Amino acid sequence: MSQSPAGPSSRSADALAVERLFAVRGKVALVSGGSRGIGKMIATGLVRNGAKVYICSRTKTECDATAHELTALGPGACISIPADLQQLSEVERLVDEIKAREDALHILVNNAGATWVAEFDAFPDEAFSKILTLNVQRAFSLTQQCLPLLRAAAVQGGRSGDTFLDPARIVNIGSVEGEAIPPRHTYAYAASKAALHHLSRHFASRLGWEGITSNTIACGTFRSKMMAQILRTQGEEIRRSRPLQRIGEPEDIAGAVLFLCSRAGAFVNGATVALDGGGLVLGLIPHRESRL
């Protein structure tokens, strides 16, 4: 029987197999803030699927322990390079160390971030400087420093005419608080995430031409050190307020990153993916202690 002109060839059918469509094996990644929380979930997903993942955080013992733990899981590997990304000099040192070991960086995950909660009247000026520097400015700084490695990865991925077949990927870890007015007194954090989402789109418009995509995952509630206190006091209320009635699990964030960083996500550029169980559909529902 002859094949229908509209039907897939055997070659394209093979490319649709899940083990090829979502493959990241052999790719080199950097996950900032990768020693715990959402960053560790992402790093774990990449390592478990065969990527070589560099992680950084301020705390050497924590960073080293996570790298040891994830490498033992395999089949990929995890390498610790502790760095305090508040400091530009530390960003430069981090990237220099990776450049000394690698000739390309296929995946950059800008995940490092911080928050600050204080009533409007008491919100300190220094909090804005700290949060905006780490959550926005250093995401730009790290991406800027990694550009030569990302460009090299785009070239490694191959070209067909003007088309990059396997682009390098930037994934920016944002927040639903950057998409809707948050219920908590997180003025600097929410503003920083809104800025990061827009910066990611700016990256996409500028770097896509060079074979580098940039996308954002706007995370809802996940179990992390940043959210620990809220989950202890309001976990059930938060769960009940979401259409899917749960909080995020490691599979959710790891799966989203694997999609964006594999062949499956190669045509996605400039997107913001809400990963929140549908909370944004309803609007962010106020928690009891933050109602004015």
Catalytic residue numbers?
A: 189
CA distances from 88 to 130, 137, 204 (A): 13, 10, 23
Rounded to 10 degrees, the C-alpha dihedral 241/34/41/19 comes to: 130
List the one residue out of 237, 227, 232, 239 whose CA is nearest residue 276. 239
Look at strands 77-80 and 272-275 and give their pairing. unpaired
Output the six-digit token pair for 125: 């000026």
**What is the C-alpha separation between 175 and 284, in angstroms, rounded?**
12
**What is the C-alpha separation between 187 and 172, in angstroms, rounded?**
20
List the one residue out of 220, 198, 209, 211 whose CA is nearest residue 153. 211
DSSP-derived letter for residue 22 is T
Which residues, other chains included, contact 1 with Cβ-Cβ below 8 Å and sequence gap of 6+?
Answer: none
Rounded to a whole number, what is the distance in angstroms from the first to the last CA of the chain? 70
* 20: helix, strand or coil: helix
List the 77-80 sheet strands across, edge first.
77-80, 52-56, 28-32, 107-110, 168-175, 212-219, 272-275
Helix 138-156 to helix 88-101 angle (10° resolution) is: 20
Tokens 């700016």 correspond to what residue? 202
